[in-house]
Chain A
């Protein structure tokens, strides 16, 4: 949030003096910030809920004993999902009679339907057999339990936030280190290599994909065919580069030209930044036929990598002329080793800040999308979806308050962690 261009530049400058105990100091600074520290602790609680969501809210019992046989239905589900066990026949878990039953704290799944209890307030006139089955946070459409939906929503929100920023980080690291390390002047290739590569690219696409379009359209062998296509593509590019190496000896063809990679990547970043994020995601989602959370995750990742790339780039531009880089080069370390072992760790803190803020905004975007009902299906209960149910009537106050509050808390947590990291990094405080 508080990332103006100016602040970004400032942060990048503060990265200069980093001693051995830099991380230690940073940690100390961060721990002094009580708000950020408690946010981190609360976040662990959220992660706990997300990881064990199936055991907290589930219509299936965690354990039951029947006729002397022990059953673990939830664990059994995991085994089925992993392909270790066959799926069991349908059992009505509510009516299950057994000698010993241990049920989950919330005896409902996010999609368990409880007919006749639709849209009931926490203190409303709920028709349940015992207090054990009371809907403590009320119900929404089809009598589904809000508490179970909230637990499930925690998992969805954290997965979306963390994985989408994971994708963004990988992209940002890749482009940022390319732009920063090679800059505008370091990528020198011979004329012939440049020309041949540019010319070979359309041909490689042609022979790998266009001529094989029929084979690629066969649904049953798609991945095999795709692999073959990629191999053909790589083979053509590889062959061209071998020819280029051979022809490099010719003086005219071998003359080096400099590719302004930094300029190109910065243009790319500018272009990505200039398409409004939410609109782009909406337009992306429009072209995928089947709504799924994975798509949303990928799309958020595809638009959020730019600020990470900018940090990595700026840090690399700064340090690539420093003495220790030259020393590393003189010792014969490869470029990639230098980037991975020396440059990226230095740029990590601002990247961490960006990731923290980025997770907050990714969670918000997912909430907005499911609130709008775009890109996810209605049986996928998330926080945003629950808020949208409050629009059905102004009397559903519990649906208006509870899920929105969860979104607010999560977003604030990540923003506070980001803020805490930022103040910890501030040069005026780190000696």
Chain B
């Protein structure tokens, strides 16, 4: 028994590792330039560095990297994704990083020299000024170009401006020559053979994945949030929102609060209703009532919850269709309640009636069917016959003897409760405007706030795994017949 549990937990750890890797990889695919809104002024580089450090973008991705020897191990320090990709493409073509990096510096120096903020206008007339701006615009394209054709075209333009405006030419002469020479050098001194030499590098623990996971586990207490989860001694750092720039710990724990309230009450209600239903159908097996119940829960199961939600809102929250139809409160003003300091907890109750209905009814079928199956099997057993034969009341036979064994199958459903409690109500929350995890997830997807999206995915996955693990262990504990192989 202990061995089984131990083995089960041991298998849990590599799965967890793989899931975290998977979610991390997914999060790496999402695009978007997170530095887009930073103004192009003299502090830009500094700002970019600060933001990159905040989101851990100034680190390599993983413990190991396996690339060609031509790629430098410090490429991740080029923070902007499009510029980094350009450099990668240049290396993939020519393979000589040292020359490419001096070309990059030449471009940067040139851009700096003709930057509109650095105009030294005392020797440039107005027409040269326009030329300088044209020149600058051409230059700013260079860091994101890698095709020889495109770069050469830009370089030709630059030369053209310089020859047309001798004053400008003399002003930027050195930078221009540097740039042209370094680009020539890239082409003449290419070392493509380096592209065929693989190299495996160890990046150490200062990498994005390591930070992400340890923050999630609460091992790096850099924020000093002690009270995110008051009852458990777990201080995770979920990272920062890309939109507000604030820590998402508070956002997630707030959302979790509402989702937990919603789902736990729904799950609780579902069990309270479905278990007696299941027992009833099992006892009255093949009776008319059993058949009606079976069909009823089947229909309930097949009714899409989001449709029922829409129907309930359309027909039972307004007086549009009949005068007594507004039996449920309208669901639109959850935000007002939250912002109003005078609201007490009972003001929220009416808001939860409809969502809970929509969450409860689909799960009735699953739970009651499971319960019915389990009970039905137990009622066929010999010991139930014995119990009846010795004259126990039907109530005692069912309530005391059968129920205890018949409830086993419900345990397998336990695995589903954990993820459902966190992410089981995405659509319902969206429809009823409940500020829970599901709504947060959808809002974050819409707003491209990726750190939140992937943290929620990770949390839900981990909880599902924990649920499956617990269900397996519990099942083994309560039912000694389960084989431990």
Contacts and interface: CB of A to CB of B under 8 A. Distances in A.
Interface stretch (A47-55, A206-214, A248-256): A206-214
B198 A206 contact: yes
A88 interface: no
B68 A211 contact: yes
A267 interface: yes
A271 B13 CA distance: 11
Contacts of A207: 196
A372 B196 CA distance: 47
B93 interface: yes
A284 to B, nearest CB: 7
B409 A411 contact: no
A274 B23 CA distance: 12
Interface in A186-224: 202-203, 206-207, 210-211, 213-214, 217
A266 B29 CA distance: 27
Interface in B6-55: 11, 14-15, 18-19, 22-23, 26, 29-31
B461 A411 contact: no
Interface residues of A, number: 56
B456 interface: yes
Interface string B309-321: 0110111011011
A202 B307 CA distance: 49
A279 B299 CA distance: 26
Contact of A267 (B15, B195, B445): B15
A286 B450 contact: yes
A282 B426 CA distance: 11
Given A1-B366, A279-B423, A408-B303, A270 B15 contact: yes
Contact of A210 (B19, B67, B301, B366): B67
A4 interface: yes
A163 interface: no
A415 B409 contact: no
Contact of A214 (B19, B93, B431): B93
B464 interface: yes
Interface in A344-402: 360, 364, 367-368, 371-372, 374, 387, 390-391, 394-397, 400-401
Nearest to B301: A1
Contacts of A408: 302-304, 307
A332 interface: no
Contact of A283 (B195, B299, B453): B453
A279 B441 contact: yes
Contact of B457 (A275, A395, A397): A275
Given A275-B19, A387-B306, A287 B30 contact: yes
B373 interface: yes
A407 interface: yes
A287 B301 contact: no
Contacts of A270: 15, 465, 468
A70 interface: no
Output the residue of A7, A279, A404 with the most chain B CB within 10 A.
Answer: A279
Contacts of B299: 412
B369 interface: yes
A374 B373 CA distance: 38
B89 A274 contact: no
A274 B66 contact: no
Interface string B439-455: 00110010000100110
Contacts of B89: 213-214, 217
B314 A396 contact: yes
Contact of A372 (B314, B373, B442): B442
A4 B412 contact: yes
A415 B301 contact: yes
A394 B307 contact: no
B410 to A, nearest CB: 10
Contacts of B430: 372
B441 A210 contact: no
A372 B427 contact: yes
A391 B317 CA distance: 13
Interface in A312-369: 360, 364, 367-368
B89 to A, nearest CB: 6
Given A5-B412, A411-B302, A404 B442 contact: no
Given A213-B92, A267-B15, A286 B453 contact: yes
A275 B463 CA distance: 9
B129 interface: no
B132 interface: no
Contacts of A405: 307
Contact of A394 (B22, B313, B456): B313
A278 interface: yes
B454 to A, nearest CB: 7
B464 A275 contact: yes
A203 B198 contact: yes
A80 to B, nearest CB: 34
A371 B427 contact: yes
Interface in B275-312: 298-299, 301-304, 306-307, 310-311
Nearest to A285: B445
Contacts of A90: none
Contacts of B29: 287
B314 A400 contact: yes
Contacts of B11: 267
B460 interface: yes
Contacts of A397: 314-315, 321
B185 interface: no
B311 A404 contact: yes
B442 A274 contact: no
Nearest to B318: A394
Contacts of A273: 464, 468
Contact of A211 (B196, B315, B413, B454): B196
B15 A274 contact: yes
28 contacts: A1-B369, A2-B369, A4-B370, A6-B409, A206-B66, A206-B198, A210-B67, A210-B68, A214-B89, A267-B11, A267-B14, A267-B15, A271-B18, A275-B19, A279-B423, A283-B457, A368-B427, A372-B442, A374-B442, A387-B306, A394-B313, A394-B317, A397-B315, A400-B314, A404-B304, A412-B299, A415-B298, A415-B301
Given A6-B409, A6-B412, A276-B419, 15 more contacts: A1-B301, A4-B370, A273-B468, A279-B423, A282-B442, A371-B427, A390-B314, A391-B310, A394-B317, A394-B320, A395-B320, A400-B307, A408-B307, A415-B298, A415-B302
Sort A-B residue pairs by CB-CB distance and give the 6 closest, nearest first: A404-B307, A214-B92, A412-B302, A287-B29, A400-B314, A274-B464
Interface of B: 11, 14-15, 18-19, 22-23, 26, 29-31, 66-68, 88-89, 92-93, 195-196, 198, 298-299, 301-304, 306-307, 310-311, 313-315, 317-318, 320-321, 365-366, 369-370, 373, 409, 412-413, 419, 423, 426-427, 430-431, 441-442, 445, 450, 453-454, 456-457, 460-461, 464-465, 468
